Amino acid sequence: MKYTFILSILFFVELTFAQTNLPDFLQGTWKIENQEIYEHWDKLNENTIKGFSYNLKDGQMIISEYLDISVIKKEIIYTATVLNQNQGKGINFKLTKADSTFTFENPNHDFPKKIVYQKLNDTEIFVHVSDGEQKEFSYKLQKQFQKFILKDTTILNPNYNHELAQKLGGDDYGMKSYILVILKTGTNQSTDKIFINNSFRGHMENINLLVTEGKMIVAGPISKNDKTYRGIFILNVTTFEEAERLLQNDPAIKEALLDFELYNWYGSAALSEYLIFSDKIWKLNP
């Protein structure tokens, strides 16, 4: 009985931590104190908060980093994807502490190993970034309000459609994150025409299936080039893991006739709306 009780307590503690609320206090736009660097965060659903870092130059937004905090397999993972670094792949940090302070750690990464967001009050957040030892830096984020810096928010847009924006999953700028897939020639150099034709027939069938499921937004070939690039997809998913899972159902990829590279891409949330017209303008089915 005592043993069962202890196990129940341990299970409850684990479950409670797994269900820890996301750091909702991050929502909104924040400015690093004394710098023209900003972070903007939106809560997409109960399991995902997405953000990005940017600076303003001559009134133009220049994005430097995409951020994501998501519940993945009962763990809360912070993913930072810095543009033009690490081949476009994000670095994951696992939540290790959560209250008014959220601590995310990745002991296997060189720097940083630890990222801490501490809520000071409703308008200030303290951020500490370190390797867990001597290398570190910190800064204070101050909440910004739309009337001061967000001159192009949807609130000022006379054409804004709240229901459509919610349906499409757009942020305050009408944008969202996708996964860009660059298809390229694979390692399988088979000359078996029947095998190749069957594989690429399945390739097209998988494309149609993903479009029907709302997972694929764009698909098309690239003209012959010296980089062996064959085509592109834009997938309506947010993680490389989910993109890879969808692509492995493609026979041409599974048989290594095609290979792929994955990149995070930030574009209009309305991109999928063109699909309702695409089926009305073709004469021949490729």
For the chain, the structural domain boundaries read 22-151, 176-278
Give the whole-angstrom CA distance, residue 92 versus residue 109.
Answer: 9
Give the C-alpha separation, 68 to 263, whole Å.
15
Phi-psi sector, 86: left (phi>0), alpha (psi -120 to 50), beta = left
Residue bearing the bigger pLDDT, 187 or 44: 187
Other C-beta atoms closer than 10 Å to the C-beta of 211 total 18
Residues forming a β-bridge with 70: 48, 77
pLDDT value, residue 146: 57
Q: Regarding beta strands 229-235 and 28-32, do their DSSP bridges make them parallel or antiparallel, or are they unpaired? A: unpaired
For residue 147, pLDDT over 70 is answered with no
Asked if residue 181 lies in contact with residue 262, where contact means CB atoms within 8 angstroms, the answer is yes
The three-class DSSP label of residue 62 is strand
- In the numeric block, the tokens 């804004």 are attached to 160
Residue pLDDT, tens place only, 239-259:
999 999 999 999 999 999 999
Q: What is the mean pLDDT of residues 17-33?
A: 83
Calculate mean pLDDT across residues 150-170. Answer: 70
- The predicted-structure confidence for 206-231, as pLDDT tens digits, reads as follows 999 999 899 999 999 999 999 999 99
The model's confidence at residue 286, banded by pLDDT at 50, 70 and 90, is low
Give the residue among 133, 160, 155, 158 at the shortest CA–CA distance from 145. 155
Mean pLDDT score across all residues of the chain: 86
Fold agreement (22-151, 176-278): no
pLDDT at residue 60 in the model: 77
Query: What is the CATH class of 22-151?
Result: mainly beta
- The answer to which of 53-57, 137-141, 149-153 has the lowest mean pLDDT is 149-153
CATH class of 176-278: alpha beta
Residue 19 token pair = 């269900």
Q: Which amino acid is at 273?
A: E
pLDDT over threshold 60, residue 187: yes
